Amino acid sequence: KFGLLLQDEASGKLSFNVGVIDLNDKVGRLTLNLRYPVTKTLDDMMTPFNERIKGTGIEIENFEHQKPLYFSPDHPLIKTLKNVYKEETGKEGELMSIGGGTYAKEMPNIVAFGPIFPGEPDVHC
């Protein structure tokens, strides 16, 4: 347990993924992917994490950080997407935020948008 029990209403619980494990006779390396809730900060995540690994010999190397991307349901961009969904499907859409990696984080006023239709298989490209 790393003491990272962060969550919020907008985006849910922190996700903690061990992506790669690389072991040899001398060292072990883990590649971690952590995505913290949109209402939290990097410090909210790293302070308890660093406290937990203090004195264990674990070192953090090659640290990369991208802030979470989040737009409020009241944002004009999100309202527009929701309205277009309703116009095209005739159904009221339910908004959901996930901690996915997307190039939208690199550009202002961009969101990744993909409707999910109940009863239909999920499609991933």
pLDDT confidence of residue 98: 74
Kindly report whether the global pTM for this prediction surpasses the value 0.85. Answer: no
pLDDT confidence of residue 124: 63
Taking the CA atoms of 36, 18, 100 and 7 in sequence, report the sign of the dihedral they define: negative
Mean pLDDT, range 19-41, rounded to an integer:
91
**What is d(CA 92, CA 82) in angstroms, rounded to the nearest whole number?**
8
1 SS3 class: coil
Torsion angle, CA of 98/104/108/113, rounded to 10 degrees? -60
**What is d(CA 103, CA 15) in angstroms, rounded to the nearest whole number?**
19
Tell me the one-letter amino acid at 120: E
**% of the chain residues with pLDDT over 90:** 33
Q: What is the 3-state secondary structure (H, E, C) of 35-65?
A: ECCCCCCHHHHHHHHHHHHCCCCCCCCCCCC
**What is d(CA 32, CA 17) in angstroms, rounded to the nearest whole number?**
6
Start-to-end CA distance of the chain, whole Å, equals 34
Mean pLDDT, range 73-80, rounded to an integer:
94
